[in-house]
Amino acid sequence: MSSALLVHFWQGTIEGHFHFFVMIALLMLYEEWLPFLVAIGYVLVHHGLMGELDAASVYDHPDAVAHPWKWAAIHAAFVAGASVANIAAWRLNENVRSSLHRTQLQAAERERQFRSLVANLPAAVYRRTADGERTVAFLSDRVARITGYPASDFVGEGARSLRGLIHPDDVDKVEDAIARALESSSSYVLEYRLLHRDGSTRWIWERGQPDVRPDTVWLDGVFFDITDRKQAEEALARQAELNEHLALHDALTGLPNRTLFRDRIEQAIAAHARSGSDFAVLVLDLDRFKEINDTLGHHTGDVLLEELGRRLEGTVREADTVARLGGDEFGMLLDGCDRELVGQLVERVHAALGPHFVLHGVPLAVEASVGVALYPEHGDEVDVLLQRADIAMYNAKAARSSSSMYDRDADDHNPRRLALVADLRAAIDRRELVLHYQPKAKLRTCEVEGVEALVRWQHPDFGLVMPDEFIPLAQETGLMKPLTLYVIDEALRQCRAWQDEGRRVGVAVNLSTRNLIDVGFPGDVAALLAERRVDAKLLALEVTESTIVANPFLANSVMQQLSDMGIRLSIDDFGTGYSSLAYLTRLPVHEIKIDRSFVMDMLEDADNAVIVRSTVDLGRNLGLVVVAEGVETAAIWEELRLLGCDEAQGYFLSRPLPADELSRWLDDPDRPQLVPQDVDEFPQARSA
């Protein structure tokens, strides 16, 4: 009806009628199809009927008047086509708008997620220009905890400069590194000091990357506060220096110890082999020192040894060395000495001992026996020279003489040490060496994780000889390889026996420097594993830091082969040697063992507590198992558990036991049981 009226008002103008139905079609089709079809049908019927009844009211050209139904169909088709085209455009525009809206929502959500992520990072995230101004466009809120200033202080032109907080001594280093990165379009990694708002100095680790855009060059990066890590590293470094000094010097007298004395002799051999000159090695031992200790006490004996060390140092030249070899035995290395000069120096030594030692008001007359060996006359190796100076000293004691020069014809002295040297190889062949096993347990669950095999020598004459007496002999006589392979074989044999009894107990064995520079050692171990039918995962091999640094390249190669076999590798006595974070990341190490010297008094010594805590954190961050040695009390066990240490061993758990006793210990229901405790994922120990 409305259509007809509109057409008649427009006097049959088809265009007006056409556009009217385009509007009707758009509105109807947007909602649903049925009204649209009805409208199109109406156009067709209306134009056809009106064309028959009153053509002039609808059409204004002859052909339409003559064929009204034809033109009604054409008209309906035009209306339908135009409507569909307009609706398609409408829908398309609507889809574009919807897609744009969704994109904006997604972008907003991504920005929200980014800001949430950045806010929870332990680092400050930044974007700043690479020009001289270094204008900050974005800086996360973490910067407030790192610098003491809010992020808003640094953002925008004319704001506070991050560069202005860098320690003056580090500014040039930082700028040079960034400049090189910009030149090469590469990333940069920095460590530098930053001045905090409270006046303290913080260590910063920063990583950044240039982002080159057509209009500007940006620097995108992050920086962390690594002050705690640096302090821990410095504490470890100081402890390593102290440990190195203690490892090479006598704790009582401060003199070089046997290890450093041997090294000085080796250096002298190398130097004098080139020059062709002589030097002398002296071994001095006090006479009747045991009587002084027994009568006046060990403290008085220690005071005597300290004073004796000072007097001996006063008798030699600057280039000479005085060392305490152990007990009341001292060594002296006299550079460039022939027999005549040695005789004069020996006289000076005895003259220095002449005045009484006044100890706690008691004057004591002290005498000593001195043995002398000359290089190269009496030997050209360290062990030979020390052995022969030692023999000469014992000859002096036997002859009740103040000193004696080594004499091959009089070399019939055979003390316990020489007997052990002679018997050691046969002891390995006769299987006189026995193993004791000390268990280690997980601190969280208190489950026994494995055992460490510790070797003893059941000597037919001397009884049970401890390893600190015969291991050095093995190292000096080239017997470390057969000794180590014997211990591994015996440990694997016992491991197999435990497996046959239904126990899956892993065993750990200590290695020496010689093992790590022996390219055939991994093959020997593989053969023993195959012979004893033991899974390589049940064997752990422990090495000390000093054994690695002796030959890092070869040690790394041997350790990698062992690791590839499935054997677990452990750094023993960690912190007592050349502690280095670098080798821990390069070597195939699975475990670090904190030395007992740090663990035993960690509750009383704050420095040791810091070292233990730092080592536990270091191991966790590197994905290594951390084992504490020397755990002797429940309090230390609990503190280590709270720190997050993984495992522990020590007398609190059990002393080293023979294999049969250990089996009974494992099976004994009446043995003291450690109760596992529930711990957090990241436990917090009390402050040390």
**423-660 CATH, one of 1.10.10.10, 3.30.465.10, 3.90.1150.10, 3.20.20.450:** 3.20.20.450
Average pLDDT value for residue range 498-503 = 92
205-254 residue pLDDT tens:
999 999 988 888 999 999 999 999 999 988 888 888 888 888 899 989 99
User: Which CATH architecture best describes the domain 239-413?
Assistant: 2-Layer Sandwich (3.30)
Q: Is 277 left (phi over 0), alpha (psi -120 to 50) or beta?
A: beta
Question: Which residue in this structure is represented by tokens 């590293």?
Answer: 233
User: Higher-confidence residue: 685 or 527?
Assistant: 527
Please check whether residue 570 is in contact with residue 592, taking contact to mean a CB–CB distance below 8 angstroms: yes
Would the pTM of this model clear 0.85, i.e. be above it?
A: no
Confidence of residue 19 (pLDDT cuts 50, 70, 90): very low
Q: Could you give the residue range(s) of every CATH 3.30.70.270 domain in the chain? A: 239-413
Q: Residue 176: pLDDT above 90?
A: yes
> Could you tell me whether strands 625-628 and 647-649 are parallel, antiparallel, or unpaired per DSSP bridges?
parallel
Residues of the chain with CATH 3.20.20.450: 423-660
Nearest-angstrom CA–CA distance, 353 and 356: 7
- Cβ count within 10 A of residue 353: 20
Looking at per-residue confidence, does 581 or 585 come out higher? 585
CA distance 209 to 178: 9
121-227: CATH class: alpha beta
- Angle at Cα 85 formed by Cα 83 and Cα 86, nearest 5°? 65
Beta carbons of 354 and 386 less than 8 angstroms apart: no
Distances (CA, A) of 614 to 189, 248, 575, 650, 652: 24, 25, 11, 21, 23
CB 587 within 8 A of CB 549: no
From first CA to last CA, the distance across the chain in angstroms is: 96
Quick one: pLDDT band at residue 38, thresholds 50, 70, 90? low
Compute φ and ψ for 673, nearest 5 degrees.
-105, 135
State the pLDDT at residue 684: 36
Measure the CA–CA gap between 534 and 453, rounded to whole angstroms.
16
Residue 376: cis peptide before it, omega within 30 degrees of 0: yes
Element holding 363 (H helix, E strand)? strand 362-364
The answer to whether the CB of 193 falls within 8 A of the CB of 170 is yes
φ/ψ region of 324 (left if φ > 0, alpha if ψ in -120 to 50, else beta) reads beta
By residue count, the chain amounts to: 688
CATH 3.30.450.20 in the chain, residue ranges: 121-227
- DSSP class of residue 192 equals E
User: Taking the CB of residue 475, how many other CB atoms lie within 10 A of it?
Assistant: 15
Residue type, 331: G
pLDDT level of residue 258 (50, 70, 90 thresholds): very high
Asked if 171 contacts 163 with a C-beta cutoff of 8 angstroms, the reply is yes
> How much is the average pLDDT of 388-393?
90
pLDDT at 84: 66
pLDDT band, residue 687 (cuts 50/70/90) = very low
**Contact by Cβ (8 Å): 489, 453:** no
* Structure-token pair, residue 250: 């006598």
Within 13 Å of residue 368, how many CA atoms lie on the same side as its CB? 26
> What pLDDT does 1 receive?
46
Q: Is the pLDDT of residue 653 over 70?
A: yes
**Integer Cα distance of 533 and 4 in angstroms:** 104
Half-sphere exposure of 310 (CA within 13 A, CB side): 7
Q: Which long-range contacts (CB under 8 A, 24 or more apart) does 165-172 make?
A: 165/194, 165/195, 166/192, 166/193, 166/194, 166/195, 167/192, 167/193, 167/194, 167/195, 167/201, 169/193
Summarize pLDDT for 350-388 with one digit per residue, the tens.
Answer: 999 988 888 877 788 888 999 999 999 999 999 999 999
